Amino acid sequence: VKILALSGSLRTGSMNTSLLQAARELAPDGVEVELFDGLEAVEPYNADRDTPGAVPPGAAALRARVAAADGLLISSPEYNGTIPGQLKNAVDWLSRPFKESALWSKPVVTMSAVTGAFGGVWGQADLRKSLGIAGARVLEGELAIAKANEKIADGRVAAELEPQIRELLQTLAESIEPSGAEESETAPAGATA
Ligand SMILES: Cc1cc2nc3c(=O)[nH]c(=O)nc-3n(C[C@H](O)[C@H](O)[C@H](O)COP(=O)(O)O)c2cc1C
C-alpha cells in the first residue's frame, strides 16, 4: 500500500511536515509513506493550461504522484481560519478533469498542527469539504493538534501523538486493502462540481 503524504506548509521547520515524517516511521507493515516535496513548485491553477500537453511541470508532477498513490495523508496548518493558498491550489489541480482526476475516489485522511488553541479545525473542515467536492473519499477520523509547538519540536513528535497517527494510518490502509473498493462507480459523497 502506497501512501503519499502532503504537507500544507512549505517552511523547512514545519510541524506538519514533522508529523508526516513521524507517520512514515509509524506506518504498519506493508504500508509505505512517501513525502511529496514539490508543493512549492506547483504553478497557480490556470484552466487555459489545464489541457493535454499544456499542464505545467510542477502541477503535472503533483498529479502523477497522487495518481500513483493508493491513498493520501495530508497534514496542514490553518492560515487565517482556512487552508494555506498553495494547498488549495494543489487541490484545484488535483480535482480536474472532474471524475477522471487524480483525486477522484482517492481515500484521504487529514491532520492539522497549529500553534493556536483550536487545532486548526476550521482549516481542516475546509480542506475536507474541498476534497469531498473534488470527489475524494475523505475518511472519518482526523487529528487536530492545538498548541502543537508544545508537542512537536526540532522534527520530533511527542510520543502521546503516536497512537493517533497510527490509527489514522490504519484507517487509511484498511480503506485501501479491500481491492476494488476504490473502483466503485458511485459518486463519492459531496461530489457536486
Ligand atoms: C499567514 C498565517 C496565518 C495563520 N493563521 C492561523 C490560524 O488561523 N489559526 C491558527 O491556529 N494558527 C494560525 N497561524 C499559525 C500557525 O498555526 C503556525 O505558524 C504553524 O506553525 C504553521 O504550521 P507549520 O509549523 O507546519 O508551518 C498562522 C500562521 C501564518 C503564517
For 61-122, the DSSP string reads HHHHHHHH-SEEEEE---BTTB--HHHHHHHHHHT-STTTSSSTT-EEEEEEE-SSTTTTHH
Q: What is the mean pLDDT of residues 144-158?
A: 97
Position 177 pLDDT exceeds 90: no
Look at residue 175 and tell me whether its pLDDT is greater than 60. yes
- The yes-or-no verdict on residue 189 having pLDDT over 60 is no
Averaged pLDDT of the chain: 93
* Ligand 1 pocket, residue 142 CB under 6 Å: no
Ligand 1, from 114, 147, 152, 157: best to mutate by most atoms within 8 Å of Cβ?
Answer: 114
The answer to whether the pTM exceeds 0.85 is yes
Closest atom of ligand 1 to CA, residue 75? 26
Note the Cα 29 to chain centre separation in Å.
21
pLDDT value of residue 158: 98
CB 41 within 8 A of CB 70: no
How many angstroms does the Cα of residue 77 sit away from the middle of ligand 1? Answer: 6
Q: Does the beta carbon of 157 sit less than 6 angstroms from any atom of ligand 1?
A: no
pLDDT at residue 46, rounded to an integer = 98
- Spatial neighbors of 193 by CB under 8 A, at least 6 apart, are 95, 98, 133, 134
> Are the C-beta atoms of 70 and 107 separated by less than 8 Å?
yes
Which CA distances in Å does 36 have to 52, 80, 116, 139, 150?
A: 23, 24, 25, 20, 26
Cβ–ligand 1 distance for 150 under 6 Å, the answer: no
State the DSSP H helix or E strand holding residue 140, giving kind and residue range, or none if neither. Answer: strand 137-145
Cell of 161: 501523538
pLDDT in tens, 80-125: 999 999 999 999 999 999 999 999 999 999 999 999 999 999 999 9
Q: Look up residue 75 and give its three cell numbers.
A: 497534514
DSSP structure class, residue 187 = P
**pLDDT beyond 90 at 179:** no
Closest by CA to 67, choosing from 33, 102, 39, is 102
Question: Which residue has its alpha carbon closest to ligand 1 atom 17?
Answer: 114
C-alpha 9 to ligand 1 mean position (Å): 9
How remote is the CA of residue 49 from the centroid of ligand 1, in Å? Answer: 31
Over residues 21-76, the pLDDT tens digits come to 999 999 999 999 999 999 999 999 999 999 999 999 999 999 999 999 999 999 99
